[in-house]
Structure 1
Amino acid sequence: MSEVLQRLFASAPTNDLPIHSLELQATSFGVIRICSGFDDVTAGIEGGEMVAFEACALGVSLPERSVKGRQDLQFQLDNITGQSLEVVETAFEAGEKVKVIYRVYTASYLDEPGERPLEMTAVSVKANALRVNVVASFNDLVNAAWPTDRYTPDFAPGLQYFS
């Protein structure tokens, strides 16, 4: 965590706030960048490029820091216009992976994220008339099978003769 973000969380100044941002990437809709708050923000990402984040009613529930197998990032998007649901649901129906990148900035320092971004993959989406709830998850490395290649009759046809 950067010094700027540590200072913000430790002293809680009234003139500086954390700005949570999400970047959604899929081939069907390209890249969508949104941030919490009332004003659009131009902030720096990892490569030093300055990009625009659109202000949105955004709620984020961060994954806990533990050694559990699966850790989820849950977030809610405003769905008043219906655009959020349409975009995310189209990608899920097409079977695409929706990559989610979470970054946190401080209002006083937008040149780079306050800490290393979290990169996850969206695994489920639920919606109603007011909001879209999306759950994104890391790869579950703790419960992942190893080796990744499984010897089945489809992979190794000679196995069908063994019982």
Structure 2
Amino acid sequence: MIHRPKRTAALFTGVLLVGGLTACDPEGLHSAEHAGPFPYESPADTADVDLREALSDYGVRLPEGAEKITYGALKALDGYPFRVEFSMPCDGVPAFVRDSRLVSVGKETPDAVEMSVLDAGFPLDEDPAYVRAKESKLLTVYAAVIERSGTCQVFLSS
């Protein structure tokens, strides 16, 4: 009977400790399993190359002021799928489009970025859409640019 209070106190302390860890890590003890090895890698996508290399391979430079960057790129797969999303000041979009050798295709959201746009909660076919210019020797890139209150959300995909 003398040992019972010590076990109860130890059990109580353990419960408090686990509860405290859960409060500090709401995703659970295994949340790091979803984090990729590359900075900016999206939890929804995977990558086997870092963002800088993927952007270079696709001939895209992130514009000044790009924020909330996420991407996925799998160089090991046939076709080298690539996707990147970021926000930026809308006044920089024309220069970004020009520098990335994109041309306007109206407002029909390209199939390659459609799911990303929908997942972000935006409607389709209401905002400018782009594709890599055909005369460019760079890999094909599709884009949608969603403007809301002076900030643009850019969705790029191969």
Q: TM-score range by the shorter chain?
A: 0.3 to 0.5
Question: Which protein is richer in strand relative to its size?
Answer: 1
- Structure exhibiting the larger radius of gyration computed from Cα positions: 2
Answer 1 or 2: higher relative contact order, Cα 8 Å, separation at least 6: 1
TM-score by length of 1: 0.32
TM-score by length of 2: 0.33
